[in-house]
Amino acid sequence: MLVLGIETSCDETAAALVGDAYAPLANIISSQAEHALFGGVVPELASRAHLRTAVPVVRAALAAAGVGLAQVDGIAVTRGPGLVGSLIVGLSLAKALALAAGKPLIGVHHLEGHIFSNLIEHTLAPPFLTLLVSGGHTELLRVAELGRYERLGRTRDDAAGEAFDKVAKLLGLLPESGSVMGGRIIAELAATGNPRAIGFPRALERDQSLDFSFSGLKTAVLNYVRPLSAEQRQAQLPDIAASFQEAVVDALVGKTLRAMERTGIATVALAGGVAANRRLRARLEEAVGTRGGQLFYPSPVLCTDNAAMIAAAGLFHLSQGRSSGLDLDAAPRLSLSPTHG
């Protein structure tokens, strides 16, 4: 079975071909650099960029896989959550291709795609926990079986990736870098800093829920740097970045370990854009390992928004006999239901 996946939920235009056992034959991603001028993703610019690049990206994926549309068994597309204009572009293209080629259409939840990102490279059998950490989402999920998910905890305010981007912006790092990848900038800076130099707060540390909160941490960073002179701020940047990153990682690791204790599940999958953070990977791998568990995480290219994970989830649903109608709507606030698909 061969599935074409299309992903346009935010500012990445992506297309991929995935075959049996979730093996990727092609995975093409086009990133939108124009948002760097604004320090964040501008929805209107994102949807216009998808309009320009979606068809060429799909053609590139088919060419890279060496297949034609007629050889595809189904077309999977992200239907939500995400930016509504961006979602509509991808969904409209997927519908047109499905109609023209007479292929089934499979609408995929973006977060379910991230769950499947680990199955592309690893043999991972449910039940397992997924810590999904990205710019728009921070959630702890129990995967009882593929297609059945239970949310154990979520952020009550900012997502972890969003906090990285906002802190990078308030530290004045984004304009200088010409990038909106705040997490990458903070991580690179933190590598030369002392993670215990500044005692930033760990929100909800004693709260018995499995929820997260990062808005207070962002405010704490702001309050710390506000009275500093330009020279003091510049000198302390590595320590500020390292201490901020450590506070985020502490929160993510602590809640994941608590979820392991409560559920009795020892297998943990890390997914989402922030899953590429080396400090998080190392700390979580060590913590899970000391409790007799095993941690899985995808390659960096599969951490970011990509179409291979969408195609993989679509392939699973298609193999279960599930598909969507051509009246499928974009759902920018789509929730991940306990039984999804």
Sign, Cα dihedral of 143, 144, 148, 152: negative
Q: Model confidence over 107-155: pLDDT tens digits?
A: 999 999 999 999 999 999 999 999 999 988 999 999 999 999 999 999 9
Integer CA distances (angstroms), 24 to 7, 192, 300, in order: 15, 36, 15
* Share of residues in the chain with pLDDT > 70 (%): 94
Average pLDDT of the residues of the chain: 93
Query: Quick one: average pLDDT of 330-334?
Result: 94
User: Is the model's pLDDT at 247 over the cut of 90?
Assistant: yes
pLDDT bracket for residue 341 (50, 70, 90): low
User: Is the model's pLDDT at 251 over the cut of 70?
Assistant: yes
Query: Quick one: average pLDDT of 332-338?
Result: 83
Question: Phi-psi region for residue 272, left (φ > 0), alpha (ψ -120 to 50) or beta?
Answer: left
Q: Model confidence over 57-67: pLDDT tens digits?
A: 999 999 999 99
Q: Model confidence over 15-49: pLDDT tens digits?
A: 999 999 999 999 999 987 666 666 667 888 889 99
* Length of the chain in terms of residues written: 341
Rounded to an integer, what distance in angstroms lies between the CA atom of residue 147 and that of residue 230?
51
Rounded to an integer, what distance in angstroms lies between the CA atom of residue 129 and that of residue 63?
36
pLDDT for the residue 69: 97
User: Which has the closest alpha carbon to 165: 302, 277, 303?
Assistant: 277
User: Which has the closest alpha carbon to 340: 72, 3, 80?
Assistant: 80
User: How far apart, in Å, do the first and last CA atoms of the chain sit?
Assistant: 18
Rounded to an integer, what distance in angstroms lies between the CA atom of residue 141 and that of residue 148?
10
For residue 284, list its beta bridge partners: none
Task: Give yes or no for a contact between 186 and 173, defined as CB atoms under 8 angstroms apart.
Answer: yes
pLDDT for the residue 158: 94
User: Is the model's pLDDT at 70 over the cut of 50?
Assistant: yes
Strands 74-80 and 105-109 come out as parallel
Domains of the chain: 3-116+302-319 (3.30.420.40), 126-297 (3.30.420.40)
Query: Quick one: average pLDDT of 262-284?
Result: 97
pLDDT bracket for residue 174 (50, 70, 90): confident
Query: Quick one: average pLDDT of 245-266?
Result: 97
* Share of residues in the chain with pLDDT > 90 (%): 87
pLDDT for the residue 33: 65
pLDDT for the residue 35: 65
Rounded to an integer, what distance in angstroms lies between the CA atom of residue 90 and that of residue 86?
7
Cβ contacts of 138 within 8 Å, gap of 6 or more: 132, 154, 155, 159, 160, 161, 212, 214, 252, 274
User: Is the model's pLDDT at 250 over the cut of 60?
Assistant: yes
Q: Model confidence over 177-222: pLDDT tens digits?
A: 444 578 899 999 999 999 999 999 999 988 999 999 999 999 999 9
